[in-house]
Amino acid sequence: MPSSYSEVVEALDKVFEILPEDLHDFAKFGEIALAHELGHTLVKGDKGADARDADGKLYEYKVSITNQYNFNFNARFPNWEDNKARVERHWENIEGAWIGQRDGMKITDKAYVPTSILLPYLLEHFERTKGSQLNKNFRMQKFKELNNV
């Protein structure tokens, strides 16, 4: 760790001068890196899709430095049909999900799973689990394996 963060702060100040204001949240840095890697454009807002490709198709992004990719849909409703509807609503008009492993701002590994595979998998997982949250955590290898099921 540097004894002074002045170099880091100065560099980040320069970044924030050119970065659109809606991307000033550090959590977006991973999404910026993945969008750059894929040639996508980030979508404004924090609900629904994260990015769009050149054809207008929408994608969910999960980017990690720890090989943990969480798909979280908040607290469970008491009724399964309400939970199912919430998860299905999220994936409406979303082509699929990209996950990316990053080191700094470099994507070192990535994987894609289309909604047609991911949504049924998530619904089956949530229907058979009982946790208070609708959350599924993947590691990169497990996520990649979904395409082979």
> pLDDT value at position 1?
44
Residue 12 lies in a domain: no
> pLDDT value at position 98?
98
Residue 1 lies in a domain: no
> pLDDT value at position 26?
65
**Positions of the chain with pLDDT under 50:** 1
Query: For residue 104, what is the DSSP state?
Result: T
Residue 64 lies in a domain: yes
> pLDDT value at position 3?
52
Residue 21 lies in a domain: no
Question: Total structural domains in the chain?
Answer: 1
| Phi-psi sector, 45: left (phi>0), alpha (psi -120 to 50), beta | left
> pLDDT value at position 27?
67
Residue 109 lies in a domain: yes
pLDDT digits (tens, 9 = 90+) for 71-114: 999 999 999 999 999 999 999 999 999 999 998 889 999 999 99
Does the reported pTM lie above 0.85?
yes
Nearest CA to 135 out of 117, 116, 119, 122 is that of: 122
Q: Which domain holds residue 107?
A: 26-148
